[in-house]
Structure 1
Amino acid sequence: MGNEATKNTVLTAGFAQIPKGTPLHEISSMVGCVLIIDVDKDEICDASFTFVMDKTSEFLVQLLVGKTVVDGLKEITEVIQERFLAPGQGAVLQAIRAAVERYVEKKS
């Protein structure tokens, strides 16, 4: 991560409940997603997730960095569905959507 605070960026966050009955729910009932978005490009510069295992967050960040958030949710959804094959996939997508929606609402 570079120094995103010096760029024209915002930080937005979204959260979603992890489905009961999944192993992930035993550790945490919620997943959080923080996105740092370049306002000039509407592009994700960096991200973070509230997972216990760092590799999970690192992998998701690699999938998201460089993606456009305005009109780009379809691409983000597709890449997560194709490459993140883990319990809680739906919750991750919902947390990302919530963060993006918060950004889009504020920008409008």
Structure 2
Amino acid sequence: MSDWSQTNTVLTAGFAQIPKGTTLYEVSTVVGCVLIIDVDKEVICDASFTFYMDKTSDFLAGLLRGRSVANGMAEITPVVQDRFLGPGQGAVLQAIRGAVERFMEKKRQS
């Protein structure tokens, strides 16, 4: 467990509906994404997802750690599309996008 109190980080979250008719929808109707972002560097420090199986969340978190959000989803989308081939890929990207957009909106207000 990391001590985020010693760094300039924020926690942001995004959510998206999982498409009906997918196996994943039978387990959960929504996917959530939590990102911890370094405010100064605009880089994802850690991530977590609301998947039933931890491996999925761990894998996605590994893909996102160290990725820049300075240009929105530009660095994130191709990696997730290429490496996460699970059902609900679009919902995962939408949840990440929601979290990133929330961070960017707050940054613009500061």
* TM-score, L = length of structure 1: 0.97
1:11-30 matched pairs, under 5 angstroms: 11-30=11-30
1:51 — aligned with what? Answer: 51
Deviation of 1:8 after TM superposition, in Å, equals 0.3
List structure 1 runs of 4+ shifted beyond 3 angstroms. none
Q: Distance in 1 between matches of 2:47 and 2:62?
A: 9
Aligned residue identity for 1:75:
E
Q: Distance in 2 between matches of 1:21 and 1:104?
A: 33
Aligned residue identity for 2:86:
A
- Gapped runs of 5+ residues in structure 1? none
Give yes or no for the alignment of 1:101 onto 2:101.
yes
Q: Distance in 1 between matches of 2:15 and 2:5?
A: 22
2:89 — aligned with what? Answer: 89
Identity %: 70
Aligned residue identity for 1:65:
R
- Gapped runs of 5+ residues in structure 2? none
Aligned residue identity for 2:15:
F
Aligned residue identity for 2:28:
S
The answer on whether the counterparts of 1:4 and 1:45 sit within 8 Å (CA) in structure 2 is: no
Secondary structure (helix, strand or coil) at the match of 1:107 reads helix
Number of corresponding residues: 108
